[in-house]
Amino acid sequence: MTREAAPPGSYSSRFDLVALTSVRRAVETWLSRTDLSDERAGDTTTAVTEMLGNAIKHGGGGGTLHLSLIARGVRCVISDEGPGLPDRLDRHQAHRPDPAAEGGRGLWLAFALCTVVRLSSTIRGTRVELIVDLP
């Protein structure tokens, strides 16, 4: 990625399956304007995209995305209006998925690629906060 001018303070968008590709590109562009290395920006894009995909698949078909710069790095908040996370889900860590499984890697990737992952959920929706430290 080529570094461009500093990013604006934040980026926000609604997303759904139709908008997923354009939102992913916007996230890539926004992150390319931060001090994250190309590799770290790519990892962050992957984590964000996985969480967007989870919201689309499990959270009512879409939601909102908000990226911002904070003192320690980049903060991403993804919110949906789905039925909430299952009670059995450990919201403080994700276990490595079975390699033979068809899915189930999104949350595990987020925990592996981000400095902080916070999940909160009710019957009215789920909120995922990802923080990636800047160098």
Rg, the chain, Cα only? 14
Tell me, what's the pLDDT at 21? 97
Has residue 68 been placed in a domain? Answer: yes
Are the beta carbons of 55 and 82 closer than 8 angstroms? yes
Has residue 4 been placed in a domain? Answer: no
| Structure token digits, residue 82 | 């789905």
Q: What is the bridge-based pairing of β-strands 125-133 and 73-80?
A: antiparallel
Segments of the chain with pLDDT less than 70: 1-8, 87-104
Q: What are phi and psi of 29, to 5 degrees?
A: -65, -45
Domain that holds residue 117: 11-133
CA dist 20 and 98 (Å) reads 26
What's the total number of domains in the chain? 1
30-49 pLDDT per residue, tens: 999 999 999 999 999 999 99
- Sign, CA dihedral 80-82-87-90, equals negative
